[in-house]
Amino acid sequence: MISICKTVLICGLVLYMGTIIFFNDFECPSSYLFSSFKFTTFPPNSQTTLSNDAKTNNATNISHLVFGILGSEKAWHNRKPYIESWWRSNITRGYLFLDVPPKDDLLPWSINSPPYKISDNVPKLVEETKHVDSRVLRMVHGIMEVFREEHEGVRWVIMGDDDSIFFVDNMVDILAQYDHTKYFYIGGHSEFILSNYLFSFNQAFGGAGIILSYPMARAFAKNIMSCLKRYSHLKSADRTTKICIADIGVNLSPLQGIHQIDLHGDLTGFLSSHPKSLLMSLHHLDMVEPIFPSMDRSQSVFHLQNAAKYDQSRMLQQTICHKRSSNWTFSVSWGYSAHIYEKIMPRSWIQNPIETFLPWGETPNPPRFMFDTRNFSLDPCEAPHLFFFNSIEKTPRNEIHTMYTRAWPRAIGACLSNGNYSAEYVSEIHVYSSATKRIEIDRCECCDIIHEDGSKEARIKYRECKLDEIIA
């Protein structure tokens, strides 16, 4: 009898120990042993250690972005409106890094500006790294300074200059499509082909925004001093950043909606033919004419951002449609401009920006730009009637109504092709678009035109294109 009891006891102990070992191998908490035997399975080659964000599947939002804006006390007096046009106090995270403390009319500090910090001791850093260019060192070292200030909940570190404007909602929507736990270095190329040739075609031009995922920013910050010492001879901050990141083993992920604006002069042709990508930033606004006629630069950026408050997903998105009874072609750059051509024009041609702008530097021969262009023309069959964004409102039908008014009389006569009509008398274009955002864009929207002969107003109603619809 005693031997039987011993046998049962031993078997029970073996079974108990086996159960503990079995569940410990699955790293299962002891509380699960007597509750549920459900186990999470992972795809092959996936990481089995998930962050809290991954476990809860939280979508990226504005609180996950931290901005580092590099500026100078002297320039901030004039550039403050650029940043304040898009910065949201107590919502946007980040800092303006100044070279010296603010003074005079900058104090008291505006609540509509980012909180400021003073950059680290640059002369001391120059002495330590033997760097040949203190300005370059300050800009590159600034990435580490931003990373040092913010950690909790940060997924993306975004660097930019104080003469740029950002479209933060679009940034959030785009970055939400990336895995922020991986290494990412995101940015845009220069529009000027020679800049890319001289510096790198695999480089983010940083004034318009360099975007680093948190792990990428962490690795960069950890190695910043050794990198500045290795490349102390370089006189370009963007190139230095690119090379430091390449040493970590990461290449550029380029985005079309990040615009360095390495251009001069009249930017209207460029902004009126935006690529089919969400607009993320515009840089070098000091170097071009005000983007709206009869407005200065400050007024222009606030006016553009006023449209962005209603729908960033359509900002500058080009929609082209035709009114064949009049032989007219309409091209709308949402939130910015509208054009009427007195001829049925192919989309492939209208998509090319009109060269109203000049290249960044002297180039004796083409190519000058990183995109196709078309020449400015005074041919009445090719030159558009120009209209610019005037006002915006949301309608009771859950549509967004934008209105564009004529900039000036075209005054070059009418297109004389058979069946064409002059559009000189049209003074307003009213555009109606859905209030629903368009984030994942596989094709442009289509539109229907309503215009009675002789009317000063034309109405355009956006809609999704029909299956296989040809809109040439």
Contact of 423 with 385, CB cutoff 8 Å: yes
Contact 254, 189 (CB under 8 A): yes
What string of pLDDT tens digits covers the 472 residues of the chain?
A: 444 444 444 444 444 444 433 333 333 333 322 223 232 333 333 332 333 444 345 999 999 999 999 999 999 999 999 999 999 999 999 999 999 999 999 999 999 999 999 999 999 999 999 999 999 999 999 999 999 998 899 999 999 999 999 999 999 999 999 999 999 999 999 999 999 999 999 999 999 999 999 999 999 999 999 999 999 999 999 999 999 999 999 999 999 999 999 999 999 999 999 988 999 999 999 999 999 999 999 999 999 999 999 999 999 999 999 999 999 999 999 999 999 999 999 999 999 999 999 999 887 788 999 999 999 999 999 999 999 999 999 999 999 999 999 999 999 999 988 777 899 999 999 999 999 999 878 889 999 999 998 899 999 999 999 988 887 6
Alpha carbon of 355 to those of 38, 263, 270, 312, 426: distances in Å?
Answer: 63, 11, 7, 25, 24
| CA atoms of 139 and 329, how far apart (whole Å) | 46
Residues 6+ apart with CB under 8 A from 362: none
Amino acid 365: pLDDT: 82
- Closest by Cα among 198, 231, 175 to 361: 198
Please tell me the distance from the alpha carbon of residue 188 to that of residue 253, in angstroms, as a whole number: 8
Structure confidence at residue 14 (pLDDT): 42
Distance CA 165, CA 281 (A): 6
Please, are residues 331 and 350 in contact by the beta-carbon 8 Å criterion? yes
Nearest residue to 250 (alpha-carbon basis) of 208, 196, 213: 213
Considering the four listed CATH numbers 3.30.70.360, 1.20.1560.10, 3.90.550.50, 3.90.1300.10, the one that applies to the domain covering 62-259 is 3.90.550.50
C-alpha to C-alpha distance for 360 and 167, rounded to whole angstroms: 24
- Please choose, from the candidates 50, 52, 49, 22, the residue with its C-alpha nearest in 3D space to the C-alpha of residue 37: 22
Distance CA 99, CA 465 (A): 51
Read off the pTM.
0.86
Delimit the domains of the chain by residue range: 62-259, 317-463
Q: How many CB atoms lie within 10 A of CB 141?
A: 22
> What are the beta bridge partners of residue 389?
404
Residue 400 burial (10 A CB sphere; 0-12, 13-18, 19+) = buried
The confidence score (pLDDT) of residue 52 equals 45
Question: Residue 426 and residue 422: Cα distance in Å, rounded?
Answer: 9
pLDDT at 283: 98
Relative orientation angle of helices 297-308 and 73-84, to the nearest 10 degrees:
30
Q: Residue 454: which residues within 8 A CB-CB, separation 6 or more?
A: 425
pLDDT at 442: 86
**Nearest residue to 168 (alpha-carbon basis) of 317, 246, 279:** 279
Amino acid letter for position 261:
I
365 vs 386: CA distance, rounded Å = 29
- Let me know the angle formed at the C-alpha of 217 by 216 and 223, rounded to the nearest 5 degrees: 95
Check if the beta carbon of residue 166 is closer than 8 Å to that of residue 182. Answer: no
* Whole-angstrom distance, CA of residue 340 vs CA of residue 386: 7
Kindly give, in sequence order, each residue whose CB lies less than 8 Å from that of residue 251, ignoring residues fewer than 6 positions away. 185, 202
Collect all residues with Cβ–Cβ distance below 8 Å to 470 and sequence separation of at least 6: none
For residue 57, the model assigns a pLDDT of: 56
